[in-house]
Structure 1
Protein backbone atom coordinates (compact mmCIF):
# COMPACT_ATOMS: atom_id res chain seq x y z
CA UNK A 1 0.00 0.00 0.00
CA UNK A 2 1.11 3.58 -0.43
CA UNK A 3 3.49 5.28 1.97
CA UNK A 4 0.75 7.59 3.33
CA UNK A 5 -1.51 4.71 4.22
CA UNK A 6 -1.64 3.87 7.91
CA UNK A 7 0.79 1.09 8.75
CA UNK A 8 -0.91 -1.93 10.24
CA UNK A 9 0.87 -1.93 13.57
CA UNK A 10 -1.62 -0.80 16.22
CA UNK A 11 -2.26 -3.50 18.77
CA UNK A 12 -5.66 -5.13 19.00
CA UNK A 13 -7.82 -4.27 21.98
CA UNK A 14 -7.46 -0.49 21.86
CA UNK A 15 -11.19 0.08 21.78
CA UNK A 16 -11.66 -2.23 24.74
CA UNK A 17 -9.00 -0.41 26.71
CA UNK A 18 -10.62 2.92 25.95
CA UNK A 19 -13.87 1.69 27.44
CA UNK A 20 -12.31 0.55 30.69
CA UNK A 21 -11.52 3.99 32.02
CA UNK A 22 -9.82 2.69 35.15
CA UNK A 23 -11.88 4.97 37.36
CA UNK A 24 -14.21 2.54 39.16
CA UNK A 25 -14.41 -1.07 40.35
CA UNK A 26 -17.37 -2.32 38.32
CA UNK A 27 -17.23 -6.05 37.78
CA UNK A 28 -16.26 -7.14 34.29
CA UNK A 29 -16.28 -10.90 34.91
CA UNK A 30 -17.39 -13.13 37.78
CA UNK A 31 -15.82 -16.46 38.71
CA UNK A 32 -16.08 -18.81 41.66
CA UNK A 33 -12.46 -17.88 42.41
CA UNK A 34 -13.19 -14.15 42.49
CA UNK A 35 -14.27 -11.32 40.23
CA UNK A 36 -12.34 -9.28 37.66
CA UNK A 37 -12.96 -5.55 37.95
CA UNK A 38 -12.60 -2.76 35.43
CA UNK A 39 -9.61 -1.47 37.40
CA UNK A 40 -7.88 -4.86 37.12
CA UNK A 41 -8.63 -5.13 33.43
CA UNK A 42 -7.40 -1.59 32.85
CA UNK A 43 -4.11 -2.29 34.62
CA UNK A 44 -3.59 -5.55 32.72
CA UNK A 45 -4.32 -4.03 29.33
CA UNK A 46 -2.31 -0.92 30.15
CA UNK A 47 0.78 -3.06 30.64
CA UNK A 48 0.35 -4.70 27.24
CA UNK A 49 -0.85 -1.89 24.99
CA UNK A 50 -1.26 1.15 27.22
CA UNK A 51 1.04 3.64 25.52
CA UNK A 52 -0.06 2.65 22.04
CA UNK A 53 -3.73 2.86 22.97
CA UNK A 54 -3.34 6.20 24.73
CA UNK A 55 -1.52 7.63 21.74
CA UNK A 56 -4.29 6.46 19.42
CA UNK A 57 -7.01 8.03 21.56
CA UNK A 58 -5.17 11.32 22.10
CA UNK A 59 -4.21 11.64 18.43
CA UNK A 60 -7.87 11.31 17.43
CA UNK A 61 -9.12 13.82 20.00
CA UNK A 62 -6.44 16.40 19.22
CA UNK A 63 -6.66 16.14 15.44
CA UNK A 64 -10.47 15.95 15.36
CA UNK A 65 -10.67 19.35 17.02
CA UNK A 66 -9.34 21.05 13.88
CA UNK A 67 -9.77 18.50 11.09
CA UNK A 68 -12.73 16.39 10.01
CA UNK A 69 -12.82 12.96 8.38
CA UNK A 70 -16.18 11.62 7.26
CA UNK A 71 -17.32 8.00 7.23
CA UNK A 72 -17.44 8.29 3.45
CA UNK A 73 -13.73 9.19 3.35
CA UNK A 74 -12.85 6.23 5.56
CA UNK A 75 -14.99 3.92 3.40
CA UNK A 76 -13.24 5.15 0.25
CA UNK A 77 -9.78 4.55 1.70
CA UNK A 78 -10.84 1.16 3.03
CA UNK A 79 -12.05 0.17 -0.45
CA UNK A 80 -8.74 1.30 -1.96
CA UNK A 81 -6.79 -0.82 0.49
CA UNK A 82 -8.97 -3.85 -0.18
CA UNK A 83 -8.38 -3.43 -3.90
CA UNK A 84 -4.63 -3.07 -3.41
CA UNK A 85 -4.25 -6.03 -1.07
CA UNK A 86 -6.92 -8.23 -2.64
CA UNK A 87 -7.29 -11.59 -0.85
CA UNK A 88 -4.39 -10.65 1.45
CA UNK A 89 -6.44 -7.92 3.16
CA UNK A 90 -7.92 -10.04 5.97
CA UNK A 91 -4.57 -11.72 6.57
CA UNK A 92 -2.83 -8.34 6.78
CA UNK A 93 -5.30 -7.17 9.44
CA UNK A 94 -4.91 -10.33 11.48
CA UNK A 95 -1.11 -10.32 11.29
CA UNK A 96 -1.08 -6.68 12.41
CA UNK A 97 -3.19 -7.35 15.49
CA UNK A 98 -6.55 -5.96 14.42
CA UNK A 99 -9.51 -8.05 15.52
CA UNK A 100 -11.75 -6.92 12.66
CA UNK A 101 -12.38 -4.17 10.09
CA UNK A 102 -14.05 -1.88 12.65
CA UNK A 103 -10.92 -2.03 14.78
CA UNK A 104 -8.79 -1.12 11.77
CA UNK A 105 -11.15 1.72 10.78
CA UNK A 106 -10.29 3.53 14.01
CA UNK A 107 -6.59 3.60 13.09
CA UNK A 108 -7.38 4.47 9.49
CA UNK A 109 -9.43 7.47 10.57
CA UNK A 110 -6.57 8.76 12.72
CA UNK A 111 -4.18 8.33 9.79
CA UNK A 112 -6.48 10.35 7.52
CA UNK A 113 -6.72 13.08 10.17
CA UNK A 114 -2.92 13.16 10.39
CA UNK A 115 -2.74 13.32 6.60
CA UNK A 116 -5.01 16.38 6.56
CA UNK A 117 -2.84 18.09 9.15
CA UNK A 118 0.28 17.35 7.08
CA UNK A 119 -0.98 18.44 3.64
CA UNK A 120 -2.08 21.81 4.99
CA UNK A 121 1.36 23.33 4.35
CA UNK A 122 2.19 21.40 1.16
CA UNK A 123 2.09 23.50 -2.01
CA UNK A 124 1.40 22.41 -5.59
CA UNK A 125 1.21 24.65 -8.65
CA UNK A 126 -1.63 24.64 -11.18
CA UNK A 127 0.91 23.52 -13.76
CA UNK A 128 1.72 20.44 -11.65
CA UNK A 129 -1.97 19.67 -11.21
CA UNK A 130 -2.65 20.03 -14.96
CA UNK A 131 0.26 17.71 -15.79
CA UNK A 132 -1.05 15.21 -13.26
CA UNK A 133 -4.54 15.51 -14.80
CA UNK A 134 -3.18 14.85 -18.29
CA UNK A 135 -1.23 11.82 -17.07
CA UNK A 136 -4.30 10.45 -15.26
CA UNK A 137 -5.89 9.95 -18.67
CA UNK A 138 -3.13 7.55 -19.75
CA UNK A 139 -2.09 3.96 -19.13
CA UNK A 140 1.44 2.92 -20.03
CA UNK A 141 2.68 -0.52 -20.94
CA UNK A 142 6.27 -0.62 -19.71
CA UNK A 143 9.23 -2.93 -19.49
CA UNK A 144 12.53 -2.51 -17.70
CA UNK A 145 15.97 -3.87 -17.09
CA UNK A 146 16.96 -3.68 -13.43
CA UNK A 147 20.63 -3.87 -12.39
CA UNK A 148 22.47 -3.24 -9.16
CA UNK A 149 24.91 -0.47 -10.10
CA UNK A 150 25.15 2.57 -12.35
CA UNK A 151 28.09 1.26 -14.41
CA UNK A 152 26.18 -1.84 -15.48
CA UNK A 153 23.12 0.30 -16.25
CA UNK A 154 25.21 2.56 -18.52
CA UNK A 155 26.74 -0.44 -20.27
CA UNK A 156 23.29 -1.93 -20.92
CA UNK A 157 21.98 1.43 -22.18
CA UNK A 158 24.93 1.68 -24.59
CA UNK A 159 24.11 -1.77 -25.98
CA UNK A 160 20.48 -0.75 -26.46
CA UNK A 161 21.55 2.44 -28.24
CA UNK A 162 23.59 0.25 -30.59
CA UNK A 163 20.49 -1.76 -31.50
CA UNK A 164 20.62 -4.46 -28.82
CA UNK A 165 17.48 -6.52 -28.18
CA UNK A 166 15.71 -5.31 -25.04
CA UNK A 167 14.25 -8.69 -24.03
CA UNK A 168 17.57 -10.49 -24.57
CA UNK A 169 19.49 -7.90 -22.54
CA UNK A 170 16.87 -8.07 -19.78
CA UNK A 171 17.31 -11.83 -19.58
CA UNK A 172 21.09 -11.46 -19.51
CA UNK A 173 21.47 -8.62 -17.03
CA UNK A 174 18.26 -7.85 -15.12
CA UNK A 175 17.88 -8.96 -11.51
CA UNK A 176 14.07 -8.79 -11.82
CA UNK A 177 13.73 -12.46 -12.70
CA UNK A 178 9.92 -12.42 -12.70
CA UNK A 179 9.75 -9.64 -15.30
CA UNK A 180 12.52 -11.25 -17.35
CA UNK A 181 10.22 -14.14 -18.20
CA UNK A 182 8.12 -11.58 -20.09
CA UNK A 183 11.00 -9.73 -21.72
CA UNK A 184 11.25 -7.30 -18.81
CA UNK A 185 7.55 -6.41 -18.96
CA UNK A 186 5.88 -4.91 -15.90
CA UNK A 187 2.49 -4.78 -17.58
CA UNK A 188 0.32 -1.66 -17.42
CA UNK A 189 0.90 1.18 -14.98
CA UNK A 190 -0.90 4.43 -14.22
CA UNK A 191 0.34 7.65 -12.67
CA UNK A 192 -1.01 6.47 -9.30
CA UNK A 193 -0.33 2.73 -9.44
CA UNK A 194 -0.18 1.52 -5.80
CA UNK A 195 3.13 0.16 -4.49
CA UNK A 196 5.04 1.38 -7.55
CA UNK A 197 8.14 3.47 -6.88
CA UNK A 198 7.29 7.13 -7.48
CA UNK A 199 10.63 7.93 -9.13
CA UNK A 200 10.08 5.09 -11.60
CA UNK A 201 6.56 6.30 -12.43
CA UNK A 202 7.69 9.89 -12.85
CA UNK A 203 10.42 8.91 -15.31
CA UNK A 204 8.18 6.49 -17.22
CA UNK A 205 5.55 9.17 -17.82
CA UNK A 206 8.17 11.44 -19.40
CA UNK A 207 8.79 8.91 -22.16
CA UNK A 208 7.16 8.69 -25.57
CA UNK A 209 6.09 5.37 -27.09
CA UNK A 210 9.12 3.09 -27.72
CA UNK A 211 11.51 5.60 -26.14
CA UNK A 212 14.15 4.16 -23.80
CA UNK A 213 15.19 6.06 -20.68
CA UNK A 214 18.64 6.83 -19.40
CA UNK A 215 19.57 4.90 -16.23
CA UNK A 216 17.11 5.72 -13.42
CA UNK A 217 17.96 5.06 -9.78
CA UNK A 218 15.27 3.98 -7.31
CA UNK A 219 15.27 2.18 -3.98
CA UNK A 220 15.51 -1.12 -5.91
CA UNK A 221 18.57 -0.34 -8.02
CA UNK A 222 19.17 1.10 -11.50
CA UNK A 223 16.50 0.81 -14.20
CA UNK A 224 16.44 1.16 -17.96
CA UNK A 225 12.77 1.84 -18.80
CA UNK A 226 10.94 1.55 -22.09
CA UNK A 227 7.31 2.49 -22.78
CA UNK A 228 5.99 0.00 -25.33
CA UNK A 229 2.44 1.36 -25.59
CA UNK A 230 0.34 4.33 -24.42
CA UNK A 231 -3.41 3.98 -24.02
CA UNK A 232 -5.61 7.06 -23.72
CA UNK A 233 -8.89 6.97 -21.84
CA UNK A 234 -11.98 7.46 -24.01
CA UNK A 235 -12.97 11.14 -24.01
CA UNK A 236 -16.44 10.27 -22.71
CA UNK A 237 -14.80 8.96 -19.49
CA UNK A 238 -12.69 12.08 -18.89
CA UNK A 239 -14.09 14.71 -16.54
CA UNK A 240 -13.30 18.41 -17.21
CA UNK A 241 -10.16 19.70 -15.48
CA UNK A 242 -12.02 22.37 -13.47
CA UNK A 243 -14.32 19.72 -12.08
CA UNK A 244 -11.57 17.52 -10.64
CA UNK A 245 -8.60 19.84 -10.11
CA UNK A 246 -9.20 20.26 -6.34
CA UNK A 247 -9.29 16.51 -5.80
CA UNK A 248 -6.19 16.03 -7.96
CA UNK A 249 -4.36 18.81 -6.12
CA UNK A 250 -5.04 16.96 -2.85
CA UNK A 251 -3.79 13.68 -4.34
CA UNK A 252 -0.59 15.40 -5.45
CA UNK A 253 -0.05 16.91 -2.01
CA UNK A 254 -0.52 13.53 -0.38
CA UNK A 255 1.95 11.98 -2.82
CA UNK A 256 4.57 14.49 -1.63
CA UNK A 257 4.23 13.45 2.00
CA UNK A 258 6.86 11.35 3.68
CA UNK A 259 6.95 9.84 7.20
CA UNK A 260 9.03 12.75 8.52
CA UNK A 261 6.56 15.36 7.27
CA UNK A 262 3.65 13.39 8.73
CA UNK A 263 5.39 13.14 12.09
CA UNK A 264 6.28 16.84 12.15
CA UNK A 265 2.65 17.80 11.50
CA UNK A 266 1.42 15.51 14.26
CA UNK A 267 4.01 16.80 16.73
CA UNK A 268 2.98 20.38 15.95
CA UNK A 269 -0.67 19.61 16.74
CA UNK A 270 0.23 17.71 19.93
CA UNK A 271 2.33 20.60 21.22
CA UNK A 272 -0.59 22.99 20.73
CA UNK A 273 -2.85 20.65 22.71
CA UNK A 274 -0.84 20.99 25.98
CA UNK A 275 -1.07 17.27 26.85
CA UNK A 276 -0.76 16.22 30.49
CA UNK A 277 -0.84 12.51 31.40
CA UNK A 278 -2.06 11.81 34.93
CA UNK A 279 -1.42 8.07 35.03
CA UNK A 280 2.10 7.71 36.47
CA UNK A 281 2.77 4.53 34.47
CA UNK A 282 2.01 6.32 31.20
CA UNK A 283 3.68 9.64 32.01
CA UNK A 284 6.35 9.28 29.34
CA UNK A 285 4.00 8.21 26.53
CA UNK A 286 4.43 11.43 24.52
CA UNK A 287 7.90 12.53 25.68
CA UNK A 288 9.76 11.34 22.58
CA UNK A 289 7.28 13.12 20.31
CA UNK A 290 7.01 16.40 22.18
CA UNK A 291 10.62 16.98 23.14
CA UNK A 292 12.78 18.46 20.40
CA UNK A 293 16.05 16.65 19.69
CA UNK A 294 17.89 19.68 20.99
CA UNK A 295 15.86 19.60 24.21
CA UNK A 296 16.55 15.89 24.63
CA UNK A 297 20.27 16.51 24.16
CA UNK A 298 20.27 19.31 26.73
CA UNK A 299 18.37 17.15 29.21
CA UNK A 300 20.87 14.33 28.75
CA UNK A 301 23.78 16.70 29.43
CA UNK A 302 22.08 17.95 32.58
CA UNK A 303 21.57 14.38 33.80
CA UNK A 304 25.23 13.56 33.10
CA UNK A 305 26.32 16.56 35.19
CA UNK A 306 24.29 15.30 38.10
Structure 2
Protein backbone atom coordinates (compact mmCIF):
# COMPACT_ATOMS: atom_id res chain seq x y z
CA UNK A 1 0.00 0.00 0.00
CA UNK A 2 1.25 3.43 -0.91
CA UNK A 3 0.56 6.48 1.25
CA UNK A 4 -0.38 9.27 1.36
CA UNK A 5 -3.33 8.43 -0.86
CA UNK A 6 -5.53 11.26 -2.03
CA UNK A 7 -7.86 12.01 -4.94
CA UNK A 8 -6.19 10.40 -7.98
CA UNK A 9 -4.92 13.19 -10.21
CA UNK A 10 -3.27 12.81 -13.62
CA UNK A 11 -0.43 15.15 -14.53
CA UNK A 12 -2.37 17.81 -16.40
CA UNK A 13 0.55 18.95 -18.52
CA UNK A 14 1.01 15.47 -19.92
CA UNK A 15 -2.40 13.90 -20.23
CA UNK A 16 -6.01 14.57 -21.07
CA UNK A 17 -8.74 12.43 -19.55
CA UNK A 18 -11.66 11.80 -21.88
CA UNK A 19 -15.07 12.11 -20.29
CA UNK A 20 -17.58 9.37 -20.96
CA UNK A 21 -20.53 11.73 -21.37
CA UNK A 22 -20.81 15.29 -22.75
CA UNK A 23 -21.74 18.09 -20.36
CA UNK A 24 -25.46 18.65 -19.97
CA UNK A 25 -26.87 21.68 -21.78
CA UNK A 26 -28.62 23.13 -18.75
CA UNK A 27 -27.41 22.24 -15.24
CA UNK A 28 -30.16 21.84 -12.66
CA UNK A 29 -27.98 23.59 -10.10
CA UNK A 30 -25.30 26.07 -11.28
CA UNK A 31 -23.12 25.08 -8.31
CA UNK A 32 -22.98 21.43 -9.37
CA UNK A 33 -20.29 20.04 -11.65
CA UNK A 34 -21.53 16.45 -11.92
CA UNK A 35 -23.92 13.89 -10.52
CA UNK A 36 -22.67 10.33 -10.22
CA UNK A 37 -25.33 7.72 -9.47
CA UNK A 38 -27.23 10.36 -7.51
CA UNK A 39 -24.21 11.81 -5.67
CA UNK A 40 -23.14 15.36 -6.45
CA UNK A 41 -19.69 16.79 -7.12
CA UNK A 42 -19.84 20.57 -6.70
CA UNK A 43 -17.87 23.26 -8.49
CA UNK A 44 -16.33 24.11 -5.14
CA UNK A 45 -15.09 20.52 -4.85
CA UNK A 46 -13.50 20.73 -8.30
CA UNK A 47 -11.89 24.12 -7.69
CA UNK A 48 -10.47 22.98 -4.35
CA UNK A 49 -8.56 20.22 -6.14
CA UNK A 50 -7.69 22.46 -9.08
CA UNK A 51 -6.19 25.06 -6.76
CA UNK A 52 -3.42 22.63 -5.81
CA UNK A 53 -2.32 22.21 -9.42
CA UNK A 54 -2.62 25.63 -10.99
CA UNK A 55 0.53 26.75 -12.83
CA UNK A 56 2.27 29.97 -11.86
CA UNK A 57 1.42 31.62 -15.17
CA UNK A 58 -2.13 32.99 -15.57
CA UNK A 59 -4.59 30.80 -17.47
CA UNK A 60 -6.99 31.83 -20.18
CA UNK A 61 -10.67 31.13 -19.60
CA UNK A 62 -10.46 28.21 -22.03
CA UNK A 63 -7.37 26.76 -20.31
CA UNK A 64 -8.96 27.01 -16.88
CA UNK A 65 -12.08 25.27 -18.10
CA UNK A 66 -10.03 22.47 -19.68
CA UNK A 67 -8.20 21.92 -16.41
CA UNK A 68 -11.56 21.84 -14.62
CA UNK A 69 -12.75 19.19 -17.09
CA UNK A 70 -9.67 17.05 -16.44
CA UNK A 71 -9.92 17.39 -12.66
CA UNK A 72 -13.62 16.55 -12.77
CA UNK A 73 -12.93 13.42 -14.82
CA UNK A 74 -10.58 12.15 -12.11
CA UNK A 75 -13.07 13.04 -9.39
CA UNK A 76 -15.86 11.16 -11.17
CA UNK A 77 -13.58 8.12 -11.42
CA UNK A 78 -12.69 8.38 -7.74
CA UNK A 79 -16.34 8.63 -6.69
CA UNK A 80 -17.32 5.64 -8.84
CA UNK A 81 -14.67 3.53 -7.13
CA UNK A 82 -15.72 4.67 -3.67
CA UNK A 83 -19.35 3.85 -4.41
CA UNK A 84 -18.31 0.38 -5.54
CA UNK A 85 -16.20 -0.16 -2.43
CA UNK A 86 -19.02 0.91 -0.10
CA UNK A 87 -21.01 -2.05 -1.43
CA UNK A 88 -18.26 -4.57 -2.07
CA UNK A 89 -15.12 -3.56 -0.20
CA UNK A 90 -13.99 -5.04 3.11
CA UNK A 91 -14.47 -3.07 6.30
CA UNK A 92 -11.50 -1.04 7.50
CA UNK A 93 -10.96 -0.58 11.23
CA UNK A 94 -10.57 3.16 11.98
CA UNK A 95 -7.71 2.15 14.29
CA UNK A 96 -5.76 1.11 11.20
CA UNK A 97 -6.13 4.63 9.79
CA UNK A 98 -5.14 6.07 13.19
CA UNK A 99 -1.95 4.01 13.06
CA UNK A 100 -1.20 5.10 9.49
CA UNK A 101 -1.73 8.77 10.36
CA UNK A 102 0.45 8.46 13.44
CA UNK A 103 3.27 6.85 11.45
CA UNK A 104 2.94 9.43 8.68
CA UNK A 105 2.91 12.27 11.23
CA UNK A 106 6.10 10.91 12.82
CA UNK A 107 7.75 10.73 9.39
CA UNK A 108 6.77 14.32 8.66
CA UNK A 109 8.04 15.44 12.05
CA UNK A 110 11.50 14.07 11.27
CA UNK A 111 11.46 16.25 8.16
CA UNK A 112 10.46 19.33 10.15
CA UNK A 113 6.88 19.17 8.90
CA UNK A 114 3.49 18.39 10.39
CA UNK A 115 0.18 16.76 9.55
CA UNK A 116 -1.52 20.15 9.79
CA UNK A 117 0.92 21.49 7.22
CA UNK A 118 0.30 18.48 5.00
CA UNK A 119 -3.46 19.03 5.11
CA UNK A 120 -3.01 22.70 4.23
CA UNK A 121 -0.50 22.00 1.45
CA UNK A 122 -2.72 19.38 -0.21
CA UNK A 123 -5.97 21.26 0.37
CA UNK A 124 -7.51 18.40 2.33
CA UNK A 125 -9.08 18.03 5.73
CA UNK A 126 -8.18 15.18 8.06
CA UNK A 127 -11.59 13.64 7.32
CA UNK A 128 -10.88 13.70 3.58
CA UNK A 129 -7.49 12.07 4.05
CA UNK A 130 -9.03 9.40 6.26
CA UNK A 131 -11.68 8.72 3.63
CA UNK A 132 -9.09 8.47 0.84
CA UNK A 133 -6.82 6.15 2.81
CA UNK A 134 -9.78 4.00 3.82
CA UNK A 135 -10.76 3.65 0.15
CA UNK A 136 -7.18 2.73 -0.76
CA UNK A 137 -7.09 0.01 1.90
CA UNK A 138 -10.51 -1.26 0.86
CA UNK A 139 -9.45 -1.51 -2.77
CA UNK A 140 -6.30 -3.42 -1.90
CA UNK A 141 -8.28 -5.71 0.38
CA UNK A 142 -10.88 -6.33 -2.31
CA UNK A 143 -8.21 -7.14 -4.90
CA UNK A 144 -6.52 -9.52 -2.45
CA UNK A 145 -9.83 -11.36 -2.09
CA UNK A 146 -10.48 -11.80 -5.82
CA UNK A 147 -7.00 -12.13 -7.37
CA UNK A 148 -5.60 -15.66 -7.44
CA UNK A 149 -1.90 -16.57 -7.20
CA UNK A 150 -2.11 -17.76 -10.80
CA UNK A 151 -3.42 -14.35 -11.93
CA UNK A 152 -0.72 -12.48 -10.04
CA UNK A 153 2.03 -14.74 -11.37
CA UNK A 154 0.74 -14.27 -14.92
CA UNK A 155 0.66 -10.51 -14.35
CA UNK A 156 4.22 -10.58 -13.05
CA UNK A 157 5.42 -12.53 -16.08
CA UNK A 158 3.66 -10.15 -18.48
CA UNK A 159 5.20 -7.10 -16.78
CA UNK A 160 8.59 -8.42 -15.73
CA UNK A 161 10.37 -5.47 -17.38
CA UNK A 162 8.54 -3.22 -14.94
CA UNK A 163 9.49 -5.22 -11.85
CA UNK A 164 13.09 -5.57 -13.03
CA UNK A 165 13.11 -1.76 -13.48
CA UNK A 166 14.25 -2.11 -17.07
CA UNK A 167 14.55 1.23 -18.86
CA UNK A 168 14.51 2.01 -22.55
CA UNK A 169 15.64 5.20 -24.21
CA UNK A 170 13.10 6.34 -26.78
CA UNK A 171 12.55 9.00 -29.34
CA UNK A 172 9.42 9.66 -31.30
CA UNK A 173 7.74 11.66 -34.01
CA UNK A 174 4.18 12.70 -33.21
CA UNK A 175 1.56 14.34 -35.39
CA UNK A 176 -1.13 15.87 -33.20
CA UNK A 177 -4.63 14.90 -34.26
CA UNK A 178 -7.37 16.68 -32.33
CA UNK A 179 -10.51 14.99 -31.10
CA UNK A 180 -12.47 17.05 -33.62
CA UNK A 181 -10.38 15.80 -36.55
CA UNK A 182 -12.32 14.21 -39.38
CA UNK A 183 -11.63 10.61 -40.44
CA UNK A 184 -10.01 12.00 -43.59
CA UNK A 185 -7.66 14.22 -41.53
CA UNK A 186 -6.75 11.30 -39.27
CA UNK A 187 -6.11 9.06 -42.28
CA UNK A 188 -3.94 11.74 -43.90
CA UNK A 189 -1.79 12.05 -40.77
CA UNK A 190 -1.38 8.28 -40.59
CA UNK A 191 -0.42 8.13 -44.25
CA UNK A 192 2.17 10.87 -43.72
CA UNK A 193 3.74 9.00 -40.81
CA UNK A 194 3.78 5.74 -42.73
CA UNK A 195 5.58 7.50 -45.58
CA UNK A 196 8.14 8.91 -43.13
CA UNK A 197 8.60 5.47 -41.61
CA UNK A 198 9.29 3.96 -45.02
CA UNK A 199 11.94 6.62 -45.74
CA UNK A 200 13.59 6.13 -42.34
CA UNK A 201 13.53 2.33 -42.66
CA UNK A 202 15.12 2.58 -46.12
CA UNK A 203 17.91 4.79 -44.81
CA UNK A 204 16.79 7.75 -46.92
CA UNK A 205 15.90 9.88 -43.90
CA UNK A 206 17.42 10.15 -40.43
CA UNK A 207 14.93 9.69 -37.60
CA UNK A 208 16.25 12.65 -35.60
CA UNK A 209 16.15 14.93 -38.64
CA UNK A 210 12.59 13.86 -39.39
CA UNK A 211 11.58 14.55 -35.77
CA UNK A 212 13.13 18.01 -35.87
CA UNK A 213 11.29 18.84 -39.08
CA UNK A 214 7.91 17.19 -38.62
CA UNK A 215 7.19 16.28 -34.97
CA UNK A 216 4.63 18.31 -33.03
CA UNK A 217 6.26 17.50 -29.67
CA UNK A 218 8.45 19.87 -27.59
CA UNK A 219 11.10 17.15 -27.95
CA UNK A 220 11.39 17.89 -31.70
CA UNK A 221 14.50 20.15 -31.39
CA UNK A 222 16.39 17.27 -29.76
CA UNK A 223 15.39 14.80 -32.43
CA UNK A 224 12.33 13.56 -30.56
CA UNK A 225 14.43 12.26 -27.65
CA UNK A 226 12.31 11.51 -24.55
CA UNK A 227 15.16 9.98 -22.56
CA UNK A 228 14.84 6.76 -20.56
CA UNK A 229 11.38 5.57 -19.59
CA UNK A 230 10.02 2.79 -17.38
CA UNK A 231 7.46 0.23 -18.50
CA UNK A 232 4.86 1.42 -16.00
CA UNK A 233 4.33 4.10 -13.41
CA UNK A 234 5.90 7.06 -15.17
CA UNK A 235 4.33 10.01 -16.96
CA UNK A 236 4.40 8.28 -20.35
CA UNK A 237 1.13 7.06 -21.85
CA UNK A 238 0.59 3.36 -21.09
CA UNK A 239 0.03 2.37 -24.73
CA UNK A 240 3.14 4.30 -25.77
CA UNK A 241 5.30 2.62 -23.11
CA UNK A 242 3.96 -0.83 -23.97
CA UNK A 243 4.80 -0.31 -27.65
CA UNK A 244 8.27 1.02 -26.84
CA UNK A 245 9.17 -1.94 -24.62
CA UNK A 246 8.10 -4.34 -27.36
CA UNK A 247 10.82 -2.93 -29.64
CA UNK A 248 14.41 -4.06 -29.93
CA UNK A 249 17.15 -1.43 -29.83
CA UNK A 250 17.18 0.44 -33.14
CA UNK A 251 13.82 -0.97 -34.22
CA UNK A 252 11.03 1.26 -35.56
CA UNK A 253 7.45 0.91 -34.42
CA UNK A 254 4.48 1.00 -36.72
CA UNK A 255 2.17 4.01 -36.52
CA UNK A 256 0.79 4.10 -32.97
CA UNK A 257 -2.24 6.13 -31.90
CA UNK A 258 -2.60 7.52 -28.37
CA UNK A 259 -4.72 10.31 -26.95
CA UNK A 260 -1.90 12.71 -27.87
CA UNK A 261 -1.83 11.88 -31.57
CA UNK A 262 -0.14 9.50 -34.00
CA UNK A 263 3.42 8.38 -33.25
CA UNK A 264 6.46 6.69 -34.68
CA UNK A 265 8.72 5.31 -31.93
CA UNK A 266 12.31 4.16 -31.97
CA UNK A 267 14.24 2.65 -29.05
CA UNK A 268 17.87 3.75 -29.02
CA UNK A 269 19.12 2.01 -25.85
CA UNK A 270 18.03 -0.40 -23.15
CA UNK A 271 19.19 -0.71 -19.53
CA UNK A 272 18.57 -4.23 -18.17
CA UNK A 273 17.71 -3.21 -14.61
CA UNK A 274 17.99 -5.73 -11.77
CA UNK A 275 16.47 -9.22 -12.08
CA UNK A 276 13.52 -9.66 -9.73
CA UNK A 277 11.58 -12.65 -8.42
CA UNK A 278 7.88 -13.10 -7.86
CA UNK A 279 8.38 -13.76 -4.15
CA UNK A 280 10.54 -10.70 -3.48
CA UNK A 281 8.29 -8.44 -5.59
CA UNK A 282 5.02 -9.56 -3.99
CA UNK A 283 3.99 -6.16 -2.59
CA UNK A 284 4.99 -4.26 -5.73
CA UNK A 285 3.08 -6.79 -7.83
CA UNK A 286 -0.04 -6.33 -5.74
CA UNK A 287 0.26 -2.52 -5.91
CA UNK A 288 0.69 -2.51 -9.68
CA UNK A 289 -2.02 -5.11 -10.24
CA UNK A 290 -4.36 -3.03 -8.07
CA UNK A 291 -3.66 0.09 -10.14
CA UNK A 292 -4.54 -1.76 -13.35
CA UNK A 293 -7.55 -3.41 -11.70
CA UNK A 294 -8.79 0.06 -10.69
CA UNK A 295 -8.46 1.36 -14.25
CA UNK A 296 -10.43 -1.59 -15.63
CA UNK A 297 -13.03 -1.23 -12.89
CA UNK A 298 -13.51 2.46 -13.69
CA UNK A 299 -14.10 1.69 -17.36
CA UNK A 300 -16.78 -0.84 -16.37
CA UNK A 301 -18.41 1.47 -13.82
CA UNK A 302 -18.53 4.36 -16.29
CA UNK A 303 -20.43 2.20 -18.77
CA UNK A 304 -22.89 1.01 -16.14
CA UNK A 305 -23.25 4.22 -14.11
CA UNK A 306 -25.60 7.16 -14.37
CA UNK A 307 -23.28 10.13 -14.85
CA UNK A 308 -24.52 13.63 -15.61
CA UNK A 309 -21.88 16.30 -16.22
CA UNK A 310 -23.04 19.88 -15.66
CA UNK A 311 -19.74 21.76 -15.60
CA UNK A 312 -20.45 25.28 -16.91
TM-score by length of 2: 0.51
Unaligned runs of 5+ in 1: 13-51, 79-91, 267-287, 294-306
Tell whether the 8 Å contact from 1:209 to 1:230 is kept in structure 2 after alignment.
yes
* Contact 2:90/2:141 (8 A) holds in 1: no
Shift of 1:260: 6.3
Distance 1:198 1:248 in 2: 18
| Whole-angstrom distance in 2 between the partners of 1:5 and 1:224 | 35
How far did 1:152 drift? 2.1
Report the alpha carbon displacement of residue 110 of structure 1 after superposing the two structures with TM: 1.6
Find the aligned partners of 1:168 and 1:120 in 2 and give their Cα distance.
52
Q: Does 1:209 align with 2:235?
A: no
How many equivalent residue pairs? Answer: 207
1: CA distance, partners of 2:210 / 2:98: 48
Give the 5 Å matches for 1:14-53. none
Q: 184, 204, 210: which one pairs with 1:169?
A: 210
C-alpha separation in 2, matches of 1:56 and 1:255: 14
Q: Distance in 2 between matches of 1:157 and 1:258?
A: 36
Q: Which moved more, 1:115-124 or 1:104-113?
A: 115-124
1:249 CA drift (Å) = 3.9
- Determine which structure has the larger helix proportion and give its number: 1
1:183 alignment partner, one of 197, 218, 223:
223
Distance 2:85 2:153 in 1: 32
Q: 1:254 aligns with which of 290, 297, 300?
A: 290
Residue of structure 2 aligned with 1:98, choices 118, 124, 134: 124
| Shift in Å, 1:194 | 2.5
> Which structure: larger Rg?
1
Q: 1:230 aligns with which of 250, 266, 270?
A: 270
Tell me which residue corresponds to 2:23. none
**Structure 2: which 5+ runs fail to align?**
10-40, 46-77, 105-117, 178-188, 308-312
- The change in CA–CA distance for 1:224 and 1:56 in structure 2 (over 3 A counts) is closer
Aligned to 2:239: 199
User: 1:136–1:190: 8 Å Cα contact kept in structure 2?
Assistant: no
Distance verdict in 2 for CA 1:62–1:199, change over 3 Å: closer
Query: Alignment partner of 2:89: what SS?
Result: helix
What secondary structure does 2:278 align onto?
helix
How far is 1:126 from its partner? 3.2
